[in-house]
Structure 1
Amino acid sequence: MNKQIKRAFYIVFTLGIVFIIATISINIFLKNKLESFVNERLPKNMIRSYDAITVESFGGSLSITNASLIIKNKTDSLKHTFINVEKLKISHISYWDYLFKDEIHIETISVENPIMAYYKDRVVPSTDTVNKGIIDIYKPIFVKNIRIDNSKFVIYEKGKDSTKLYTKGLSVAVTGIKIDKNTVRRKIPMIFDNYKATSDSVFVKVSPYENLTVKDFALENTVAIFKNLRLHTKYSKTQLSKIITTERDHYDLTLKKVTVEGINFGFNNRQFFAQSKKVSLTAPSLEIYRDKLAADDLKTKPLYSKMLRELPFELTVNSLRIEDAKIKYEERVKAENMGGSITFNNLNAAISNLSNTYKSPEKTTIKIEANFMDSTPISVDWSFDVNNKQDAFLFQGTLGTLAANKMNNFTEPNLKVRLEGKTNKTFFTIDGNNSTSTTNMKISYSDFKVKILQQDGRKKNTVLSAIANIFISKNSTENGDSYKKGVAEAKRDKSKSVFNFLWISIKAALTKIMI
């Protein structure tokens, strides 16, 4: 072996040794830096542990296995947040940006199989985090991709039925992330470009009585799709009647699909806002049951305009569409039966400006087309200005031919009244506000009769029926006009719902016309 070959061999060997030593040194340096950050830079109210930290300096990557983080209150040290991660990997850290730009640039952060539990009733807010982030950020952090795979997330609250929210199989991907000393102070402590989330199961406790479940959802940037939703009362009808002290509706709502497009959300001056260009509800089916034998709930019920106006956040939904809906409303008035029902099917609705952000004179408008009691077409135009403090509204409706006996399913068990005859066409306009309404109606009907039933709800009370029909006009034909017309006023019972107000407004006009 000549001298040149030996010299080349020694140079390569020396460089190899230097490279190995440098790699080991950098690994040790980076590992120490990370351990120092975990042990010293995280706040004292965060308890952290892990099995191992592995550093690959040549590729600029590091990973932590079986990591856990517990967050407790600063005031009383009560633990409220628990996070366990099977593996956390940070890939392709840029040393150049770190050394020469004083910035941290990362290609990918991946989190595998995390389990997160949050006990909201244990949290005591700390006053020193209002204008300060959870942790101090000395160098801007830029991350190209963050992936969270197959996570479970649970929120608990007080009580036996303590699960407030639960989701499993949740995966999240976010790109173009920036975190610095300014963003970390915000409600959403980062800036990002795109996001995506999927889950195969979601549960939400909406109230002490109702639960919401979603079998599958996908969220990507500005579009969210939720499939097989169900919002329902967790008690049976009889169970609910036993535990409530005042009237409360029993719900069962199912939706095949909900699509939300043009999503935007965030905070303006720490005020939350949510926006959507279009929301579509596909094939919803709603059953509502009310036991009127329970005591009245005398709390004031706001109209929809006031409910929107007083939301604790800014809501903007440009358009909401409902396709092929079914609604069944049951009401129990008499103790001896389970009540009667009315139905709507083939219901389609278009709602514009479902919002509390637009200005007058722009209005929320609702247009509905449906079949009432199986075969009677009904159309509704409803509008109100959310900014009107008197909650003024206009409700216009048209009802097609209705055989009166179709209503007996509701009137017989609840009112002990059987109807005969038919209405041919009905037009009505309700001009109302939070206190009163004026209803203008015209109706064409024929052979209309009322049978008052005995207490058993079967046999006719001959005397009362005869007296009632003396005062009821049997046909609408009058002076050559096939329509009878009338105008009536009604006063709102503010402890009742908006639909009760609409009903008593229509009833007042019907009474004036037919009696």
Structure 2
Amino acid sequence: MEKKYKILLYTFIGLAVLLGVVYFANKIVKQKIKAGIEQELLNSNVEYKDISVDIISGSSVVSSPKLKLGSATISSEELSVIDLDYKEYFSNNKIVFDRIVFKKPEIHITQSDTLKDPDKENSKKGFKEDIKIRHLVIQEGHLKISENDTIKEQLYISLKNMDIYDLHITEASLKNKIPFSFREVSINSDSLFYSLDPEHDLQVKNLQLKKGTLNISDLRIIPKFSKTEFDQRQKVEKDRFELNVPRIKMKGFSWGFNGDKLQLESATTFFEKADFLVYRNKLLPDDNSIKPLYSQKLRELETKLKFDTIQISNSSLIYEEKSVAGKPPGKVMFSEMDVTIANVSNLNMEAENFQPTTIKAKAKFMGESNLNFNMEFDISDLEDKFNFSGNLVGISAGAMNSFLKPALNIEVEGKISSMFFNFYGNDDNALGDTRLQYHDFKVEILKKDGYSKNKILSGLANLILKKNVANKKIDQKNISATRDKTKSFWNFLWLCIRNGALKSFL
């Protein structure tokens, strides 16, 4: 029995000594680690309230940290460091974290050219070692991006959760717009706001990015002013937009920076039930600036794009044009729109196999006519050549008058049974063919009040209209149009179709 007690006694003594060694070793190591972290934080221009270290769990907690990474400032309620690789830190002076958690961080990125040079800012207190974080977690945070510290943010995102994998910070990365590299990001946001321009804001109710799939719910472009106030603020005519898209889904989505330019890529992009309203007051002075064609716009766009397929389903577009004072604007309406756009890219434009952009669309025109439209152009083509074609079946006078009467003081009778068009063009001119079939067509030109008929002008117009051609189709070849470069592409398209229609009518 006495021997057993001695064994137990020696065992307890041994455990006590071991615990004592562990306690003092833990205390010494904790102090060394804490001192090392504090020194590293000071060298990295990080402010904080307190640091706690748990050597057993391999974790550290920094209270109220505030740090600057290039143009980004990050302040947080708490920063938890889990599994710091101490061997790498003390042996190779490398900082490798398994996981870092930011609780309720505020991330503010400024982009103003007036900010101090990040090279000079970091020359004294910069990251001397590579920092690698296998998994960075942001919980209940907010991201703001603005031109400078004094103006309202251009971009605001509420981040319920954000996970960044294999994040890497170096002295070189701090000079980039995103001050770190990464392998993958997942985001769950319940609010996004972006100031598009002085007249429009963009809002998103929910945004989720995970495993290369981006889901956006309730995206809206909202005018900041009513139509009347919007017009009062304009020196020249300008479009006012309203957009509502209940759902957008992007598969194979990725983003990053190509040099200093933002790059976005998506294999397939889906828009469902989008409603787009465009308003323009033609009574304002013309905007005589040059309007590039879409191929040139995309070619010269600062943001780099590669969207393989874009599909728009069951959507609508309404264009309102105010042309007569004191009267409501004329409307052109497209509903039940299904559109497929392929190969929207301004990357690798020098490649021999660079693919042209194609558009295929079908819709209800003015709520009653079946419209099919096709277009093709090459973004890399410096001559900006394009081809568009389509057909329209069955449009009544009532549908046409909803635009012609308020916009042009013209009222028509009769029906256009069918129309076909096919044009090839470039930035200067276009040439093509049209085919038109109509019957019982009459034109009434209205007086300035928009109601009374101008009998003399109406009579002259109807005299020169061709007789009833309901039983045959009128083909017109080599219809030409010259582009007014101060007008949009859609004005150019309208000129082509109008020239063919006028030649068929007269």
State if a TM-score over 0.5 links the two structures: yes
Counterpart CA distance in 1 for 2:114 and 2:151 is 19
Q: Compared with structure 1, are the counterparts of its residues 269 and 463 closer, same or farther at alpha carbon in structure 2 (3 Å cutoff)? A: closer
SS in 1 for 2:289: coil
Counterpart CA distance in 2 for 1:127 and 1:219 is 30
TM-score w.r.t. length of structure 1: 0.90
**CA shift for structure 1 position 321:** 0.5
Match of 1:283 among 264, 273, 277: 273
Match of 1:489 among 461, 464, 480: 480
In the alignment, which residue of structure 2 is the partner of 1:303? 293
**CA shift for structure 1 position 162:** 2.3
**CA shift for structure 1 position 306:** 0.4
Match of 1:408 among 401, 411, 414: 401
User: CA RMSD, aligned part only?
Assistant: 2.7
Match of 2:12 among 4, 9, 13: 9
2:192 aligned partner, one-letter code: V
Q: Compared with structure 1, are the counterparts of its residues 239 and 312 closer, same or farther at alpha carbon in structure 2 (3 Å cutoff)? A: same
In the alignment, which residue of structure 1 is the partner of 2:158? 168
Are 1:371 and 2:369 an aligned pair? Answer: no
**CA shift for structure 1 position 6:** 4.1
Count of aligned positions: 500
Counterpart CA distance in 1 for 2:310 and 2:369 is 25
Counterpart CA distance in 2 for 1:438 and 1:82 is 56
In the alignment, which residue of structure 2 is the partner of 1:197? 187
SS in 2 for 1:434: coil
Q: Compared with structure 1, are the counterparts of its residues 67 and 301 closer, same or farther at alpha carbon in structure 2 (3 Å cutoff)? A: same
1:53 aligned partner, one-letter code: I
In the alignment, which residue of structure 2 is the partner of 1:52? 50
Taking the TM superposition and a 5 Å limit, the aligned residue runs for 1:438-457 are 438-457=431-450
1:36 aligned partner, one-letter code: Q
In the alignment, which residue of structure 2 is the partner of 1:331? 321
Taking the TM superposition and a 5 Å limit, the aligned residue runs for 1:95-494 are 95-99=86-90, 103-121=94-112, 123-126=114-117, 128=119, 135-138=126-129, 140-157=130-147, 162-179=152-169, 188-268=178-258, 272-357=262-347, 358=349, 359=351, 362-476=355-469, 481-494=472-485
Counterpart CA distance in 2 for 1:460 and 1:493 is 32
Counterpart CA distance in 1 for 2:124 and 2:254 is 24
**CA shift for structure 1 position 313:** 3.8
**CA shift for structure 1 position 407:** 1.0
CA contact 1:132–1:184 (8 Å) conserved in 2 = no
**CA shift for structure 1 position 111:** 0.5
In the alignment, which residue of structure 1 is the partner of 2:61? 63
CA contact 1:383–1:395 (8 Å) conserved in 2 = yes
Residues 51-60 or 353-362, more deviating: 353-362
**CA shift for structure 1 position 161:** 7.0
1:126 aligned partner, one-letter code: D
CA contact 2:126–2:171 (8 Å) conserved in 1 = no
Q: Compared with structure 1, are the counterparts of its residues 176 and 19 closer, same or farther at alpha carbon in structure 2 (3 Å cutoff)? A: same
TM-score w.r.t. length of structure 2: 0.92
Counterpart CA distance in 2 for 1:131 and 1:32 is 22
Counterpart CA distance in 1 for 2:155 and 2:362 is 36
**CA shift for structure 1 position 271:** 5.2
**CA shift for structure 1 position 312:** 2.0
Gaps of 5+ in 2: none
**CA shift for structure 1 position 186:** 5.5
CA contact 2:268–2:308 (8 Å) conserved in 1 = yes
In the alignment, which residue of structure 2 is the partner of 1:26? 29
**CA shift for structure 1 position 88:** 0.2
Counterpart CA distance in 1 for 2:181 and 2:67 is 24
CA contact 2:69–2:179 (8 Å) conserved in 1 = no
SS in 1 for 2:65: strand
Deviations along 1:215-267, one digit per CA (max 9) or x if unpaired, are 00001131111110001321110001001101111110100111111123334
Counterpart CA distance in 1 for 2:149 and 2:369 is 47
SS in 2 for 1:151: strand
Counterpart CA distance in 2 for 1:49 and 1:194 is 28
Q: Compared with structure 1, are the counterparts of its residues 374 and 190 closer, same or farther at alpha carbon in structure 2 (3 Å cutoff)? A: same
**CA shift for structure 1 position 20:** 0.8
CA contact 1:486–1:512 (8 Å) conserved in 2 = no
Counterpart CA distance in 1 for 2:84 and 2:195 is 41
2:325 aligned partner, one-letter code: A
Gaps of 5+ in 1: 73-79
In the alignment, which residue of structure 2 is the partner of 1:507? 498
CA contact 1:303–1:497 (8 Å) conserved in 2 = yes
**CA shift for structure 1 position 388:** 1.7
1:56 aligned partner, one-letter code: D
Deviations along 1:110-164, one digit per CA (max 9) or x if unpaired, are 00001233444474251737998993343x4443321000101223447997231
Residues 146-155 or 94-103, more deviating: 94-103
Counterpart CA distance in 2 for 1:186 and 1:452 is 62
